[in-house]
């Protein structure tokens, strides 16, 4: 087995990624902000890591000794820095909370090195009333990593990044089995040695883990060609407080309901994915890029629908609305000038050289027929070069004093434009109610024959308690999404942020089913309490 000894991790404790890659807000963006949302007040300086105040860990000496007997003394961390670094994800509310002097944090960070150790930790925690928050790359943006203890006496973050490596590679079947803590880049490095790739590239790719991809039902930017991550998973091994569960293996089966689907998207409330098998494919022979412009969002949406329904084969296809295209103008200079009006799109094609050229030509005919105009490869190449950098821009906006957050949803093609209008109106009216201005950007991020996902970026000027005010706005947004036929999450997950709306989407029967499964696998209710399923009154902290 090949293992990664130093898994990649987010190194900026109160922001995204690598602090050496942080950037100042471009002057063009600052000028645009002043025009759109007015003058912003510089925020107070964020607390230094050494100044953050935490409540003392409530783990007992007996707890520490017992857990050390399972994972080793060096794999238990109760120091302040380790606890702070595992106190949440990377949503804007998470980052704003991290900038405060006083914070909530897990009582300890426990880092098992294998499936059996995870099983033993969960067994001990269940028997001794300790809540568990599974922690992979730390990139959740829906509150799934908040150190919620509910009415349990303590909470620990279960850091899974030591579970890293390629367990088995089957070239004939084009399938690979990984430990779930393997990061996206490490999986690609290990597969490339065999001439294969996974090809799953969400914006969190550089830091997120394969287990995290599975737990949140991630959809990468290449999903038009490679599919969502949950469609790539062929088998799972799961540790639960009551024992292990092993599922999958055959490429297709009618042996009862597909129980893997219970764990794909469960976000750690049923157990911990420790190993998973995924389908992989050979490294592409070629990559072809082409950008497009459309007169308006409706025309571009119709074009993407034709491509998705005809199956012309792009690996990536995305459409930015007029506002997002305009922001591209502010940031990309000469490239943006070619896209000053209308809506911009990017397409990427990968694979065998001859087949890729054929798919690109077919897609180009469809897009042209609907009203698109090619702007060449450069804008698409520049998008690909910078596609993992957006979170750094978000951090720069927060440092400048502007609020910036994202949200996403999906619906059928017939409802795309009404849903987009309703969400945009909910955002703008929510900011207006707070006596603030906002800029709402949107793009179609993922396409299917029956519909598509809408991804919104919101920039605003919240002047008081930004987290509380955003929660009020987000309530309006989620209500609007469900009222107009959307889903509360296409690929970010439910976490704690969306849990209050889940029953409206899946029905009370669906909630009862999930609670019944959780009661069977996690009878003490220790697994990520409050995520996905709201904590019931009986389990609320007194």
Look at residue 96 and tell me if it is in a domain: yes
pLDDT at residue 537 tops 90: no
- Residues 334 and 448 grouped into a single domain: no
Residue 43 is assigned to a structural domain of this protein: no
Residue where one domain finishes, among candidates 352, 386, 420 = 386
228 and 178, same domain (yes or no): yes
**Domain annotation covers residue 21:** no
Residues 310 and 207 grouped into a single domain: no
- Do 173 and 84 share a domain, yes or no? yes
Is 143 in contact with 496 (CB distance < 8 Å)?
Answer: yes
Beta 130-135 vs 196-197: how paired, if at all? unpaired
Distance, in Å, from the CA atom of 86 to the CA atom of 240, rounded to the nearest integer, reads 21
Higher pLDDT, 41 or 87: 87
The answer for residues whose C-beta is within 8 angstroms of residue 515's C-beta and 6 or more apart is 533
For residue range 420-441, list pLDDT tens digits in order.
999 999 999 999 999 999 999 9
Number of domains the chain contains: 3
Which among 251, 248, 173 has a CA at the least distance from the CA of 214? Answer: 248
Query: What DSSP state is assigned to residue 157?
Result: E
pTM: 0.94
Spatial separation of the C-alpha atoms in residues 100 and 61, rounded to whole Å: 30
Do residue 301 and residue 448 come from a single domain? no
Helix (H) / strand (E) containing 228 = none
Residue 42: band (very low, low, confident or very high) from pLDDT cuts 50, 70, 90: confident
Domain assignment present for residue 44? The answer is no
143 neighbors 501 (Cβ within 8 angstroms) = no
Inter-residue contact 294 to 324 (CB < 8 Å): no
- Angle at alpha carbon of residue 59, lines to 58 and 62, rounded to 5°: 140
pLDDT at 327 over 90: no
Q: Which ranges constitute the DSSP H helices of 16-155?
A: 27-36, 61-71, 80-85, 92-98, 115-127
Question: Which of 470, 291, 394 has its CA nearest to residue 21?
Answer: 394
Domain boundary residue among 456, 483, 510? 483
Return d(Cα 269, Cα 526) in angstroms, integer.
8
Query: Cα dihedral sign for 421, 424, 430, 436?
Result: negative
- Residue 34 maps to a domain: no
Q: Per-residue confidence at 32, pLDDT binned at 50, 70, 90? A: confident
Q: List the end-to-end C-alpha distance of the chain, in Å, as a whole number.
A: 47
What is the per-residue pLDDT for 340?
55
- The pLDDT confidence band at residue 408, using thresholds 50, 70 and 90, is very high
State mean pLDDT over 22-50. 86
If DSSP codes are grouped into helix, strand and coil, which group holds residue 491? coil
CATH number (domain holding residue 317): 3.30.70.3450
| DSSP state for residue 528 in the 8-state scheme | S
Give the pLDDT score at 8: 64
- Asked if 135 and 180 count as a contact pair (C-beta separation under 8 A), the reply is no
Considering just the CA atoms, what is the radius of gyration of the chain in Å?
23
What pLDDT is recorded for position 30? 85
Say whether both 349 and 266 belong to one domain: no
Neighbours of 285 (CB within 10 A): 12
| CA proximity to 162, closest of 179, 144, 140, 145 | 179
Whether 540 has a pLDDT exceeding 50, the answer reads no
Confirm if 492 and 408 have CB atoms less than 8 A apart.
yes
What 3 state SS string does 307-328 have? HHHHCCCCCEEEEECHHHHHHH
User: Which domain does 316 fall in, by range?
Assistant: 286-386
> Are 303 and 279 in a shared domain?
no
Q: How far apart are CA 379 and CA 360, in angstroms?
A: 16
Domain stops at, among 322, 357, 386: 386
Any idea which of 220-224, 301-305, 325-329 has the lowest mean pLDDT? 325-329
Q: Are residues 189 and 88 in the same domain?
A: yes
Q: Determine, yes or no, domain membership for 473.
A: yes
* Domain annotation covers residue 13: no
Whether residues 110 and 125 share a domain: the answer is yes
Instruction: Report the share of the chain in percent with pLDDT over 90.
Output: 86
Residue 4 has pLDDT above 50, yes or no: no
Q: pLDDT tens-digit profile of 470-518? A: 999 999 999 999 999 999 999 999 999 999 999 999 999 999 999 999 9
pLDDT at 335: 37
Per DSSP bridges, beta strands 108-110 and 76-77 are: antiparallel
Q: Residue 330 falls within a domain, yes or no?
A: yes
Once rounded to an integer, what is the mean pLDDT over residues 13-37? Answer: 88
Q: How far apart are CA 234 and CA 174, in angstroms?
A: 11
Q: Residue range 185-207: average pLDDT?
A: 97
pLDDT in tens, 104-126: 999 999 999 999 999 999 999 99
Number of other CB atoms surrounding residue 192 within 10 Å: 12
- CATH number of the domain encompassing residue 106: 3.30.465.10
Mean pLDDT over the full length of the chain: 93
**Long-range contacts for 310-314 (Cβ within 8 Å, ≥24 apart)?**
310/362, 310/366, 311/449, 312/359, 312/362, 312/363, 312/366, 313/225, 313/349, 313/355, 313/359, 313/362, 313/363, 314/224, 314/225, 314/347, 314/348, 314/349, 314/359, 314/360, 314/363
CATH number assigned to the domain comprising residue 412: 3.30.300.330
Closest alpha carbon to 510 in 151, 262, 325: 262
Instruction: Give the 3-state DSSP-derived string for 137-152, with helices as H, strands as E and coil as C.
Output: CCCCCCCCCCCCCCCC
Q: Report the distance separating Cα 268 and Cα 263, nearest Å.
A: 8
Give CA–CA dist 209/180, Å, rounded.
7
Claim to verify: residue 191 and residue 139 sit in the same structural domain: yes
Handedness of CA 133, 139, 140, 141 (dihedral sign): positive
On whether both 340 and 250 belong to a single domain, the answer is no
93-102, 202-211, 329-338, 501-510: which has the minimum mean pLDDT? 329-338
- How many CB atoms are located within 10 Å of the residue 218 CB? 28
Do 180 and 251 have their domain in common? yes
């Amino acid at each position: 087995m090949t293992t990664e000894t130093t898994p990649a991790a987010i190194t900026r404790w109160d922001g995204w990624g690598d602090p050496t890659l942080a950037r100042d807000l471009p002057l063009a963006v600052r000028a645009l902000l002043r025009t759109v949302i007015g003058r912003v007040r510089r925020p107070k300086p964020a607390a230094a890591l050494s100044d953050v105040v935490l409540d003392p860990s409530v783990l007992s000496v007996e707890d520490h000794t017992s857990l050390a007997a399972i994972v080793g003394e060096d794999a238990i961390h109760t120091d302040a820095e380790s606890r702070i670094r595992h106190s949440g994800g990377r949503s804007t509310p998470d980052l704003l909370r991290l900038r405060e002097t006083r914070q909530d944090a897990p009582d300890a960070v426990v880092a098992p090195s294998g499936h059996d150790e995870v099983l033993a930790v969960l067994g001990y925690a269940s028997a001794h009333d300790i809540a568990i928050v599974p922690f992979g790359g730390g990139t959740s943006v829906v509150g799934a990593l908040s150190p919620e203890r509910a009415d349990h006496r303590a909470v620990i973050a279960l850091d899974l990044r030591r579970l890293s490596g390629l367990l088995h590679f089957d070239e004939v079947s084009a399938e690979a089995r990984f430990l779930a803590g393997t990061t996206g880049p490490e999986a690609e490095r290990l597969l490339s040695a065999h001439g294969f790739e996974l090809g799953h590239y969400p914006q969190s790719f550089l830091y997120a883990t394969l287990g995290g991809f599975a737990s949140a039902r991630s959809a990468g930017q290449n999903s038009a060609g490679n599919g969502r991550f949950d469609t790539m998973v062929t088998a799972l091994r799961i540790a639960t407080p009551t024992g292990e569960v092993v599922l999958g293996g055959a490429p297709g089966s009618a042996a009862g309901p597909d129980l893997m689907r219970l764990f794909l998207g469960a976000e750690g409330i049923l157990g911990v994915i420790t190993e998973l098998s995924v389908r992989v494919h050979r490294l592409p022979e070629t990559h072809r890029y082409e950008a497009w412009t459309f007169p308006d969002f409706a025309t571009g949406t119709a074009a993407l629908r034709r491509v998705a329904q005809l199956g012309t084969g792009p690996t990536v296809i995305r459409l930015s609305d007029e506002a997002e295209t305009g922001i591209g103008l502010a940031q990309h200079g000469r490239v943006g000038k070619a896209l000053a009006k209308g809506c911009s799109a990017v397409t990427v094609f990968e694979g065998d050289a001859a087949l890729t050229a054929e798919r690109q030509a077919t897609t180009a005919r469809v897009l042209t027929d609907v009203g698109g105009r090619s702007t060449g490869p450069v804008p698409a190449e520049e998008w690909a070069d910078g596609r993992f950098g957006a979170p750094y821009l978000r951090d720069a906006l927060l440092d400048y004093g502007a609020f910036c957050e994202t949200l996403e949803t999906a619906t059928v093609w017939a409802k795309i434009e009404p849903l987009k209008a309703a969400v945009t109106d909910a955002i703008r009216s929510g900011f207006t109610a707070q006596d603030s201005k906002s800029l709402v950007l949107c793009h179609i991020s993922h396409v299917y024959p029956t519909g598509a996902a809408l991804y919104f970026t919101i920039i605003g000027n919240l002047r008081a308690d930004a987290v509380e005010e955003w929660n009020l706005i987000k309530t309006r947004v989620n209500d609007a999404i469900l009222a107009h036929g959307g889903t509360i999450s296409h690929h970010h997950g439910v976490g704690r942020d969306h849990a209050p709306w889940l029953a409206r989407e899946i029905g009370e029967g669906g909630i009862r089913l999930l609670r019944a499964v959780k009661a069977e696998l996690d009878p003490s209710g220790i697994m990520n309490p409050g995520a996905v399923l709201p904590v019931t009154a009986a389990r609320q902290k007194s």
